[in-house]
Structure 1
Amino acid sequence: MKLTILGGGGFRVPLVYGALLGDRAEGRVTHVVLHDVDAGRLRAIARVLAEQAAGVSDAPEVTATTDLDEALRGADFVFSAIRVGGLEGRAHDERVALAEGVLGQETVGAGGIAYGLRTVPVAVDIARRVARLAPDAWVINFTNPAGLVTEAMSRHLGDRVIGICDSPVGLGRRIARVLGARPREAWVDYVGLNHLGWVRGLRVAGRDELPRLLADPSLLGSFEEGRLFGTEWLRSLGSIPNEYLHYYYFNREAVHAYQEAKRTRGAFLRDQQARFYAGVADTAVPALDLWDRTRAEREATYMAENRETAGAGDREEEDLSGGYEDVALALMRAVARDERTTLILNVRNRGTLSPLDAEAVIEVPCLVDASGAHPVSVDPLPGHAIGLVCAVKAVEREVLAAARSGSRETAVKAFALHPLVDSVNVARRLVDGYTAAHPGLAYLG
């Protein structure tokens, strides 16, 4: 089976390959094609993967190319993890927004809109090529903003594109762990959009254990979300929010923390990865060891400003191991081998979440088999959650419309309607700032 990884020179690709190395079952991936626009990054990651595979019998073959059509032909699965504009683009997204006093995070608020506006046209082109060159392939999308990009691609690929994210996986794992349950044996009642969802229940052997967690302040405050949001707020909500909702519930504090930071997250990662790729270019340097050390630093500093604002302390050791690669592998197994499973995924709504239309991509538990991912029916959201979900989905639709039409006016509307951008004039200045910073937004006329 052939897996094509778009963004194959990306730093997190070895996580996916590491998961593939552990899969010995019949029908596994035997050929991995790495595609990237940067040949130097491809060579660097190929070195890491070669060291990972050393001593592993019958490891999946790895080839690399900068030719997108060549990479897609004959693919059974396409894993999309591209970053349009690179980490320099992410750093620009953060700086332009923070200069206007609003959040510049890569998937939330102004930064997420800017990232979406330059990523959607590229993702749509990829979707069209997949439909033409590999019509039977399944696309697994990890490109951010994951829900928005998955929806853009679904307009050309239908249900054959499925979005994944490690945030719900990590959240469910932490809740299960603190309740003394095995994560694999727990049903996580999670619903929302990508980076905008809530755990409303966690069932073990048919019993919902979340009320026990919410009723125990010491237990509730013992894991990351309890420390991040505060036990009082979680008990008020009656649910456990995805960590990215910290940007909404504590927006002023988050913006202030990012403004006060010596470097934004994007600038930190840009500089860190520049050192990594420069280091791997020296063939005398053990590539896998350097990658391991760089990844450990990357994971330990994730959402550091938010944790500092909340006094949440350092991340737990168990949360430094990623997770999206396991979701991707489980998804591929379920589809390719009909190994039925349940995963939290980004899929078309199809009436699952009543306030949204059928084509809206949402993030919910899905039953996955050889025919794809099927969202599980969920209870209605509470009013406060409906408001946020509908508002952010409306913004995503304006981003899609702007990317399709090239309309600057529509782009301004997308920014202005976002709950974390509080002024039409700010929205206009954001569009001006982003188009000046990003050549890829020159299409907005």
Structure 2
Amino acid sequence: MKLTILGGGGFRVPLVYEAVATGATGLRVDEIALQDVDAGRLRTITEVIDGVRRRLEADGRITHAPRVTASTDLREAVADADFVFSAVRVGGAEARTVDERVALNLGLLGQETIGPGGLAYALRTIPVALDIARAVADLAPAAWVINFTNPAGIVTEAMRSVLGNRAVGICDTPIGLVRRVGRLLGVDLVAGERGAEVDYVGLNHLGWLRSVTVDGTDRLPELLADDAALEEIEEARLIGKDWVRSDGALPNEYLYYYLHTASAIERITASATTRGEFLAKQQGDFYLAATDSMAGDATSPHTDSSCCSSPADLWRQTLHEREATYMAESRDEERREEDVAGGGYQEVALRLMTALATGRSERMILDVGNISAERQDAPASQRIVPELPADAVLEVLCTVDGEGVHPHPVAPVELGRLGMMASLRAAERKILEAAMTGSREAAWQGFSIHPLVSSPTLGAELLDGYIAGHPEIAALLVDQ
């Protein structure tokens, strides 16, 4: 079995290798093909993976070490793949800093996937995602594409326009919320223990856990009424216990940016660096230090004693700091260890891959079409959320098996939540149109109608700023 990882020089790729090599899901992978446009980062991550492999062997934890190949050629990497993990970052971490700063300079939220920064990220990423989808359709037509690339919802939707149901998006935040609730109840909600059912619905990074049924009883109301229980749920601490109790649902943690926008902007601007700037420096330092370590250069001006550590050791040190500071602007305390742990993207992706490959059923929250790609003309009543377009990508509980991905039905979506989803979906639809047609007007509309912008004037200024800051966007929008 061949697994291709696009964005294979990315910082979190060794986590995927570790999960595969230790047999985390029991699936045997023969080859992991890494592809990245940055040959230097590919070399570094390949060396990190080699160090991870040696450590796993020494600890007796390895079950099967897949062969690792690396290439900068997309078509070579995806040819004959069984699964493709897409985790690309167009423009690198440096482009993320532009996404953030252009918005912040206008008094708007500067964040990677939420608000105008997320739209800018999508605008420069969708053309690349479409190229990937076409390459897969041509060279590995039976492959499943599991999309990690943010913003996951809109990028997955673009890929589905080429690949149909064989493109699925993943995010680890919804399942993290479900697991936190399950720990409190002493029930494995993911596995459906004791007849457990969860109703989670939304768009990527805009979703809600609305009911948790165990032994036929919805246990969510009692959790919402219990301050001590809510204190153990990271999302409730972020958003506010009184609000989640009033709202009658537990939100995805990213709702913080919608419900506490002014506070988020204030915290981000008060920090010495944005999250993107922090990661750009942190990862830049890591890759430089790892390169020095590989070269054995103890006199490097880039690092001090860190040059004596192996690339794998440097990677683990950097990884912990990265995870512990995730969404730091939303917290008054360092992230709790139990909230850092829990599997992450690599576990979600590997469980999805294993279910599809072996037929062993899994329940997962995934980004999927509002209705199957083959049934776009079916009546609206047959969609997961009838009020939203057939091709919209929603985040809902699914069962996955050898036949594919099967979304569970959800209860009717309340008007307030539906309004938030529709408003965001309208902005994303315009950005998708701009990315696929090069329409500057569509891009302007997309930025202007986003619920965290709501201004044609600011929309125009955002667009000008992103055209100036991103060569990819400037090259794309050439029609006017």
Same fold (TM over 0.5): yes
Residue of structure 2 in register with 1:289 after alignment? 313
CA distance in 1 between partners of 2:67 and 2:226 (Å): 50
CA distance in 2 between partners of 1:421 and 1:26 (Å): 46
CA distance in 2 between partners of 1:182 and 1:140 (Å): 24
Q: In structure 2, the residue corresponding to 1:243 is in which secondary structure?
A: coil
1:151 aligns with 2:157: yes
1:22 partner letter: T
Match of 1:355 among 387, 403, 410: 387
CA distance in 2 between partners of 1:188 and 1:45 (Å): 38
1:317 aligns with 2:323: no
Q: In structure 2, the residue corresponding to 1:95 is in which secondary structure?
A: helix
Q: TM-score, normalised by structure 2?
A: 0.90
Residue of structure 1 in register with 2:185 after alignment? 179
Structure 1 position 279, deviation (Å): 1.3
Residue of structure 2 in register with 1:365 after alignment? 397
1:177 partner letter: R
Change (3 A) 1:24 1:238: closer
Match of 1:274 among 269, 274, 284: 284
> Where in structure 2 are the equivalents of 1:30-429 lying within 5 Å?
30-54=30-54, 55=57, 56=62, 58-184=64-190, 185=193, 186-281=196-291, 282-283=293-294, 284=296, 285-308=309-332, 313-321=333-341, 322-350=343-371, 351-429=383-461
Q: Which whole-Å deviations, capped at 9, do the CAs of 1:19-50 have from their partners, x for residues lacking one?
A: 10122877621110000000110011111111
Structure 1 position 203, deviation (Å): 2.7
Contact 1:169–1:323 (CA under 8 A) maintained in structure 2: no
CA distance in 2 between partners of 1:203 and 1:302 (Å): 30
Structure 1 position 229, deviation (Å): 1.2
Q: Which whole-Å deviations, capped at 9, do the CAs of 1:194-218 have from their partners, x for residues lacking one?
A: 0000001223344322111011122
CA distance in 2 between partners of 1:208 and 1:119 (Å): 40
Change (3 A) 1:434 1:24: closer
CA distance in 2 between partners of 1:42 and 1:144 (Å): 20
Structure 1 position 381, deviation (Å): 1.2
Change (3 A) 1:278 1:424: same
2:436 partner letter: R
Change (3 A) 1:161 1:87: same
CA distance in 2 between partners of 1:26 and 1:100 (Å): 50
Structure 1 position 112, deviation (Å): 0.3
Contact 2:199–2:411 (CA under 8 A) maintained in structure 1: no
Structure 1 position 422, deviation (Å): 2.9
CA distance in 1 between partners of 2:427 and 2:24 (Å): 43
CA distance in 2 between partners of 1:268 and 1:188 (Å): 36
Q: In structure 2, the residue corresponding to 1:393 is in which secondary structure?
A: helix
Q: Which has the larger displacement, 102-111 or 49-58?
A: 49-58
Change (3 A) 1:207 1:402: same
Q: In structure 1, the residue corresponding to 2:331 is in which secondary structure?
A: helix
CA distance in 1 between partners of 2:14 and 2:208 (Å): 30
2:232 partner letter: S
CA distance in 2 between partners of 1:198 and 1:146 (Å): 17
Change (3 A) 1:133 1:213: same
List structure 1 segments (4+ residues) > 4 angstroms apart after TM superposition.
Answer: 24-27
2:38 partner letter: D
Q: In structure 2, the residue corresponding to 1:5 is in which secondary structure?
A: strand
Q: Which has the larger displacement, 429-438 or 181-190?
A: 181-190
Q: TM-score, normalised by structure 1?
A: 0.96
Residue of structure 1 in register with 2:380 after alignment? none
CA distance in 2 between partners of 1:93 and 1:57 (Å): 42
Change (3 A) 1:441 1:341: same
Structure 1 position 187, deviation (Å): 3.5
Residue of structure 2 in register with 1:437 after alignment? 469
CA distance in 1 between partners of 2:21 and 2:28 (Å): 10
Quote the sequence identity (%).
Answer: 54
CA distance in 1 between partners of 2:161 and 2:432 (Å): 11
2:453 partner letter: V
CA distance in 2 between partners of 1:249 and 1:133 (Å): 44
Structure 1 position 174, deviation (Å): 1.4
Residue of structure 1 in register with 2:379 after alignment? none
Q: In structure 2, the residue corresponding to 1:357 is in which secondary structure?
A: coil
Q: In structure 2, the residue corresponding to 1:364 is in which secondary structure?
A: strand
2:251 partner letter: P
Query: Which consecutive residues of structure 2, in runs of 5 or more, have no partner in the other structure?
Result: 297-308, 372-382
Q: Which whole-Å deviations, capped at 9, do the CAs of 1:321-361 have from their partners, x for residues lacking one?
A: 34211111111111111111111000101101121122111
CA distance in 2 between partners of 1:121 and 1:243 (Å): 29
How many residue pairs were aligned? 441
Contact 1:147–1:193 (CA under 8 A) maintained in structure 2: yes
Contact 1:345–1:366 (CA under 8 A) maintained in structure 2: yes
1:188 partner letter: V
Residue of structure 1 in register with 2:376 after alignment? none
CA distance in 1 between partners of 2:337 and 2:404 (Å): 33
CA distance in 2 between partners of 1:207 and 1:398 (Å): 42
CA distance in 2 between partners of 1:360 and 1:82 (Å): 22
Q: Which has the larger displacement, 54-63 or 178-187?
A: 178-187
Structure 1 position 254, deviation (Å): 0.7
Contact 2:20–2:27 (CA under 8 A) maintained in structure 1: no
2:153 partner letter: G
Contact 2:189–2:198 (CA under 8 A) maintained in structure 1: no
Query: Which consecutive residues of structure 1, in runs of 5 or more, have no partner in the other structure?
Result: none
Instruction: Give the root-mean-square deviation of aligned CA atoms.
Output: 1.4
